[in-house]
Structure 1
Amino acid sequence: MNTAVVTGAASGLGREIALDLARRGWRLVLPVRAAARAHDVTAAMRAMGALAPLVVECDLSDHGAVRGMCRTVTGEGPLDLVVNNAAAGGGVDTTLRETNSAGVELRMAVNAVTPHLIARELSAALTPTGRIVQVGSMGQLPLDLDDLNYERDYAGIEAYCRSKVALVMSAIELARSGVPVNVVHPAREMPTPMVLAAGFPVASTLDDGTLAVLRVALDSELAGVRGAYFHRFERAQPHDQALDAHARGRVVAWIEERAS
């Protein structure tokens, strides 16, 4: 039986990805902030006759908790897929700079450091054909290499877009070390809690995004592809800064410091 870890599965795109895999007979491991948040998706899986997921409580902004979650998941046996879908968005008040308990700007903490940490820690538990998919975004802006914690002139939407460039940088470097990881922009604005809370007009369905993520996760034609960025179904160029080895080295070193 195949086993997948899906973050952010309590709602939105992550929920649809988890349910699609459950319909295929996969066993799901769902890290959530509180177990109660997984009640709906668990009930939906049971209603379709699928296996109930293993729910692991974990605040994904707390990197100590994330390391503990990874140890728990690794102890559950081999993994075939990890989908890092959870993300912190621009926020309703885009001028409000938030941090995690360690003082790391929240978008970088959740959208870049956490998926890097999960990919690094869980890669050893993957089966030989296992894959890691990081859910990225076409919304990408260059990082200020002298202000990676975004302490100057803060804007939440820009912080989100910077974190998604950092996510691509992380994937490229992890792939260079042998981790089977890729990044995919699933679809334009889908009706996720993040998009709806921000008031953006909906441009795509959750099915649109699910299909794009699962293609990168499961398509046999992509076996062996690592460190790539996909715009939906096509391999694409990320922001130029992600391809700059010097910039990438500085950003990933910063991420590693906070993930350690």
Structure 2
Amino acid sequence: MSDVLLTGATSGLGRWLAPRLGQAGRTVLLHGRDPAKVARGVAEVEAAGGKAEGFVADLADLDDVGRLAAQVRDRELTALVNNAGVGFGQRDGGREVSADGYELRWAVNLLAPVRLTEALLPTLKANAPARIVNVGSLGQEPIDFDDLQLRRRYDGVTAYRRAKLALAAWTFDLADELAGSGVTANCIHPATFMDTEMVRQYGQRPMSTVEDGGEATLRLILDETRTGLFFDARRAAEPHPDARDPAVRARLREVLLLRP
């Protein structure tokens, strides 16, 4: 029985995925920030007939990301699902920063999955065939490399969308890096404005169900063998053109090398 590390597994899409991954025969390494919710998630997987273990970490703290990677590095890991994320926040909400001083959405939606994935690449390669699934969004905006941390004219929607464009661009670089290794890397927009806490926090009326996005994401985790793709639900689609732009991707690589 192989393992799948699922971040952000205690609510929304992650909570829907966890018991179904267990039913598919995977041991779910179930991540969340709240110990009580992590314990509840483990119990839900087990109640559905699967196996799970809980891991508590705050992905807004890169040291915690490193500790999480160290805890699962020696497991039979065949899938990593970078699902945890921070949404738009409240309308007219102020700029927030991570434990390391980064703009919060850049930290959690990009830096955390990058750090976690890089730390676990040797494990995934050793257990190939393996899959990396990054939960992204069709909501993408060009990156202002002169104001990565949005210190000027901050807006939570813009912060979220820039981080999600960067996540897609990094996914394509990762797929190129892993070519021939037996490890695939893809990015998915599960569904538009699913009925989740982060959507409701912004005051947005949900336009799709968690099940809609969950079924598309589950298929990608369990069945997809292609790599370097962006999916709009079940369909391979094109992200914002900047995510494929070689110059943007090269600039992003430089930025990511400078993080602590």
Residue 148 of structure 2 aligns with which residue? 148
For residues 31-75 of structure 1, the C-alpha deviation after alignment (integer angstroms, 9 at most, x for no partner) is 222321213222222322322x22112110111110111011112
Structure 2: stretches of 5+ with no match in the other structure: none
Task: Tell me, in whole angstroms, the C-alpha distance in 2 between the residues paired with 1:143 and 1:109.
Answer: 14
One-letter amino acid of the structure 2 residue matched with residue 230 of structure 1: F
In structure 2, what residue type is equivalent to 1:255?
L
1:244 alignment partner AA: D
For the residue of structure 2 that corresponds to 1:128, the secondary structure is coil
In structure 1, give the amino acid aligned to 2:69: C
* Separation (CA, whole Å) in 1 of partners of 2:147 and 2:174: 23
Partners of 2:142 and 2:58 lie apart in 1 by 27
1:207 maps onto 2:208 in alignment: no
Please give the secondary structure, in 2, of the residue aligned with 1:180: strand
Q: Does 1:252 align with 2:253?
A: yes
Task: Give the TM-score normalised by the residue count of structure 1.
Answer: 0.93
Q: 1:12 deviation in Å?
A: 0.7
Matched, 1:239 2:243: no
8 Å Cα contact 1:139-1:164 kept in structure 2: yes
Q: Deviations over 1:199-237 (max 9, x none)?
A: 111111111111111222122xx32x2221111111111
Aligned residue runs from structure 1 range 89-104, under 5 A: 89-104=87-102
Q: Quick check: 1:176 aligned with 2:176?
A: yes
Task: Give CA-to-partner distance per residue, 1:107-140, whole Å, 9 cap, x none.
Answer: 0100011111222111221221110100001111
Equivalence map 1:18-167=2 (5 Å): 18-51=18-51, 53-75=52-74, 77-126=75-124, 127-167=127-167
Superimposed CA distance per residue, residues 144-196 of structure 1 (whole angstroms, 9 cap, x where no aligned partner):
12111111111001110111000011111112211521100000111111011
Q: Distance in 2 between matches of 1:253 and 1:227?
A: 20
**CA distance in 1: counterparts of 2:257 and 2:67, whole angstroms:** 17
Give me the TM-score of the superposition, normalised by structure 2: 0.93
Whether the 8 Å CA contact 1:120–1:174 is kept in 2: the answer is no
Which amino acid in 1 is paired with 2:254?
A: A
Distance (whole Å) between structure 1 residues aligned to residue 150 and residue 184 of structure 2: 29
- Structure 1 residue ranges without an equivalent (≥5): none
Task: State the Cα distance separating 1:93 from its structure 2 match.
Answer: 4.2
| C-alpha distance in 1 between matches for 2:197 and 2:243 | 28
Task: Calculate percent identity across the aligned residue pairs.
Answer: 37
Give the drift of 1:253. 2.3
Question: Which residue is 1:189 aligned to?
Answer: 193
